[in-house]
Amino acid sequence: METVLRTSNLKRTFFNGNVTVQALKGIDLEVSEGDFVVILGPSGSGKSTLLNIIGGMDVPTDGEIIYRGRPLQNMSKHELTLYRRKAVGFIFQFYNLMPNLTAYENVSLVSEITDHPLDPLKVLEEVGLGARSDHFPSQLSGGEQQRVAIARAVAKNPDILLCDEPTGALDLETGKQVLQYLHKFNREMKRTLIVITHNAAISRMADKVIHIKDGRVAMVEHNSQPVTAEEVTW
């Protein structure tokens, strides 16, 4: 499998007045095409910082991050925008939908700015929201909103789907449902899925689990027999 993303000795230091915080102290990892990768770590471990850098929202202070041969750390603001636009689909803990756009419009918003988008309505049908496509976020439950968010990320037809605690705000059943859709995307469309979480249960579904602790990779697990979403519980 081709390597989609690779980091080496990735460091990120925050300077806050007189205080210097080293959030990442040299991260080395590799993600292959079509992988389901879970980045697992307690809060404060640096996993959010890592997600931000992988997502092209932040740049490292030192080290390398290579996306399909192109170093992200050297990219201009504009190139990073294009990277976010074309390569990455984001899913957030709190959905971050546009409150004054309907479900359908939230999805088509991204399809309007990408080159090879999927049909917004089809994607919404795939996450089981075809009938609710003209509802506004405030008219949808949390799980439904997160499914709209998944549809929005998927409709861009991105290379990587990047999820930040996607089930963090949901109850178990709804959370499992969401994971199911993410899994489907990963398996059926053969797209790379990176989930950042502190919820260890999710890691049972992954091909590869990267444990982050105190700004470093503590351990990398390969899972030869990942389970389905139905089998997960927490």
Residues making contact with other proteins (CB under 8 A): 48, 52, 55, 57-58, 78, 81-82, 84-86, 88, 90, 92, 94, 96, 98-102, 105, 108-110, 112-114, 136-139, 152-153, 156
CB of 89 to other proteins, least distance (A): 8
Which stretch of DSSP H or E encloses residue 5? Answer: strand 3-16
CB of 197 to other proteins, least distance (A): 16
Q: Which is nearer to other proteins, 32 or 114 (CB)?
A: 114
CB of 19 to other proteins, least distance (A): 17
Closest to 134 in 3D by CA, of 98, 101, 111, 102? 102
Q: Which is nearer to other proteins, 196 or 209 (CB)?
A: 196
CB of 195 to other proteins, least distance (A): 17
State how far the Cα of 224 lies from the Cα of 205, in Å rounded to an integer. Answer: 10
Q: What share of residues in the chain are helix, strand, coil (percent, to 5)?
A: 35, 30, 35
Other beta carbons within 10 Å of 114: 15
Q: At what angle do helices 142-155 and 103-111 cross, to 10 degrees?
A: 20
Q: Which is nearer to other proteins, 139 or 141 (CB)?
A: 139
CB of 56 to other proteins, least distance (A): 9
CB of 153 to other proteins, least distance (A): 8
Q: Which is nearer to other proteins, 72 or 206 (CB)?
A: 72
Determine the 3-state secondary structure of 48 from DSSP: helix
Closest to 47 in 3D by CA, of 197, 234, 201? 197
Which stretch of DSSP H or E encloses residue 176? Answer: helix 172-188
CB of 141 to other proteins, least distance (A): 13
Q: Which is nearer to other proteins, 140 or 205 (CB)?
A: 140
Residue 75 dihedral angles phi and psi, to the nearest 5°: -75, 150
Q: Which is nearer to other proteins, 76 or 224 (CB)?
A: 76
State how far the Cα of 179 lies from the Cα of 166, in Å rounded to an integer. Answer: 8
Q: Which is nearer to other proteins, 137 or 226 (CB)?
A: 137
Q: Are 129 and 103 in contact (CB under 8 A)?
A: yes
